[in-house]
């Protein structure tokens, strides 16, 4: 009996050694990284300020909108390599828009095109619109068509006026002449147009200085 017990014990030890030889501890190896598109940088030439200078309050119409002339500002997108991009402009002062002003000066404009001009004395000052000036742009030395994605769903059509939506929902891109498919470019340069409209003089605190204070973020998106 003692021999059988000894034999069983020896066999059990042999099985344990065998299982121990087959078992292994594990460690996980991970491989990570990020593939990024070529970096593209938007910039303005010289200044990022559209300055209307000093405006005489006495010269403002009291009972109608007061449009100011369109100003242009030079704009460039520079990429490390040829890249397909879109551009949009997002209002940073949306709460200060005076609704209805843009339509009052141009029936093709609506409140979705209106960016806020800031407030003074508890009164909103007015609104302005931003657009790419079609025909002013070059893309790697060629003249592109400006194309628009008005619904932000990658459906592109040739843009006639190049207008942005203040909430960023309308994007502009650049395509080879005659195409509506955005192209890949290293350098895109042209002009943005800004048209400001002041509210009726009767709605403004004209007994004090009123500083126009519009602000928008120009964003480059990779397509």
Q: Which sequence spans correspond to the domains of the chain? A: 59-222
Average pLDDT of the segment spanning 181-199: 97
Mean pLDDT of the chain: 89
Q: What is the pLDDT of residues 85-122, one digit of tens each?
A: 999 999 999 999 999 999 998 999 999 999 999 999 99
CATH number assigned to the domain with residue range 59-222, chosen from the 4 options 2.60.40, 1.10.150, 2.30.29, 1.10.287: 2.60.40
Rounded CA gap, 206 and 67, in Å?
A: 17
Q: φ, ψ for residue 8 (rounded to 5)?
A: -65, -40
DSSP 178: T
Q: What is the pLDDT of residues 42-93, one digit of tens each?
A: 999 989 999 999 999 999 999 999 999 999 999 999 999 999 999 999 999 9
Closest CA to 114 of 61, 75, 169, 167: 167
Rounded CA gap, 180 and 144, in Å?
A: 10
pTM: 0.83
Q: In the block, which residue shows the tokens 């609506």?
A: 110
Residue 6 pLDDT level (bands cut at 50, 70, 90): very low
Whole-number pLDDT of residue 26: 87
Residue 150 pLDDT level (bands cut at 50, 70, 90): confident
Closest CA to 112 of 133, 134, 86, 91: 91
């Amino acid at each position: 009996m003692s021999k059988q017990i000894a034999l069983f014990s020896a066999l059990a030890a042999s099985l344990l050694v065998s299982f121990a030889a087959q078992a292994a501890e594990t460690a996980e190896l991970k491989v990570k990284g990020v593939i990024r598109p070529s970096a593209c940088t938007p910039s303005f030439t010289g200044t990022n300020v559209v300055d209307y200078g000093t405006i005489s309050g006495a010269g403002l119409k009291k009972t109608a909108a007061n449009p100011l002339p369109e100003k242009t500002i030079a704009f460039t997108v520079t990429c490390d390599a040829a890249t397909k991009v879109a551009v949009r402009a997002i209002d940073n002062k949306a709460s200060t828009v005076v609704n209805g002003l843009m339509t009052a000066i141009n029936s093709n404009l609506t409140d979705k095109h209106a960016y806020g001009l800031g407030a003074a004395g508890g009164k909103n000052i007015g609104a302005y619109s931003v657009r790419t000036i079609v025909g002013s742009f070059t893309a790697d030395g060629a003249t592109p068509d400006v194309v628009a994605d008005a619904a932000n769903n990658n459906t592109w059509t040739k843009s006639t006026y190049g207008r942005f939506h203040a909430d960023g929902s309308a994007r502009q891109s650049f395509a080879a002449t005659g195409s509506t498919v955005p192209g890949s470019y290293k350098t895109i340069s042209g002009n943005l147009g800004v048209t400001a409209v002041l509210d009726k003089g009767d709605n403004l605190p004209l007994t004090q200085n009123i500083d126009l204070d519009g602000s928008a973020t120009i964003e480059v998106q990779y397509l």
